[in-house]
Amino acid sequence: MRSRTGVTREAVHHPLFARFYARCGPVMDARAGFGAHRETVLAGLTGRVIEIGAGSGLNFRHYPRTVAEVVAIEPERHLRRLAVDAAQHAEVPVDVVPGVAEALPVKSEAFDAAVASLVLCSVRDQRRALAELHRVLRPGGELRLLEHCRAEGRGHAALQWVADRTLWPLLFGGCRTGRDTLAAVEAAGFDVLELRRFHVPERAKGLTLPLPSSPHILATVRRPG
């Protein structure tokens, strides 16, 4: 993206968050169970896969060998560099490409599956990003989702409303906790095949105050054939 001065700017520029996430992401995978959720969301994928907002590439090592190729889109420079390193240790070929989810730099109907993990909360225009995912998937192709989302309970949703209008997006790279991602996915024309809701951290672990980002979904949705 070019600014008015003609200097090239990154489409997504969150240098502090990028460094925080690069350190914190692996800890969340190990301690908050995200590593296992990544394994689940990617299980059984085959063929050509596109992943949007791949970050530092934490998903890469979880792709099953049945995947022929992953095209991993990442707009943030620091995370993209880490993703390039992570791609070298993956068991399947991963091509890391700059770009944003709202304008994917790939052909229509070119992918058997798509993956969005912890990213639809942060894209600037969720509707456009989902329309792009619909465009690039072949008819019948699956979109796998691991996302935090709007709370079902009113009190928790109110907490998210406040967080989204105060510090949360500033601290966490533009993330918004109260997005109703599942409703947006359905409005974009996807059919929901599987859906699991869960909390991070789990409610049973006795945390009295939930985090705004606690409610999550793991879902498989499909572009109708």
- Using CB under 6 A, list all residues that contact ligand SAM: 12, 21, 25, 52-55, 58-59, 73-76, 79, 100-102, 117-119, 122-124, 173
Cα-Cα-Cα-Cα dihedral sign, residues 89, 90, 92, 97:
negative
Q: And the tokens for 8?
A: 């090239």
Interior/surface letters 84-110, b for 16+ CB within 10 angstroms, e for the rest? bebbeebebebebbebbbbebebeeee
In whole angstroms, the minimum distance from the beta carbon of 173 to ligand SAM comes to: 6
Q: ∠ CA(195), CA(196), CA(198), 5° rounding?
A: 150
In whole angstroms, the minimum distance from the beta carbon of 2 to ligand SAM comes to: 17
In whole angstroms, the minimum distance from the beta carbon of 154 to ligand SAM comes to: 26
Based on CB atoms, which residue is closest to ligand SAM, 101 or 188? 101
Q: Check residue 57 and give left, alpha or beta (phi > 0: left; psi -120 to 50: alpha).
A: left
* Helix, strand, coil tally for the chain in percent (to 5): 35, 25, 40
In whole angstroms, the minimum distance from the beta carbon of 204 to ligand SAM comes to: 24
Q: How far apart are CA 133 and CA 116, in angstroms?
A: 9
Based on CB atoms, which residue is closest to ligand SAM, 123 or 159? 123
Based on CB atoms, which residue is closest to ligand SAM, 114 or 158? 114
- Closest residue to bound ligand SAM by CB: 55
In whole angstroms, the minimum distance from the beta carbon of 43 to ligand SAM comes to: 16
Based on CB atoms, which residue is closest to ligand SAM, 27 or 207? 27
Based on CB atoms, which residue is closest to ligand SAM, 19 or 191? 19
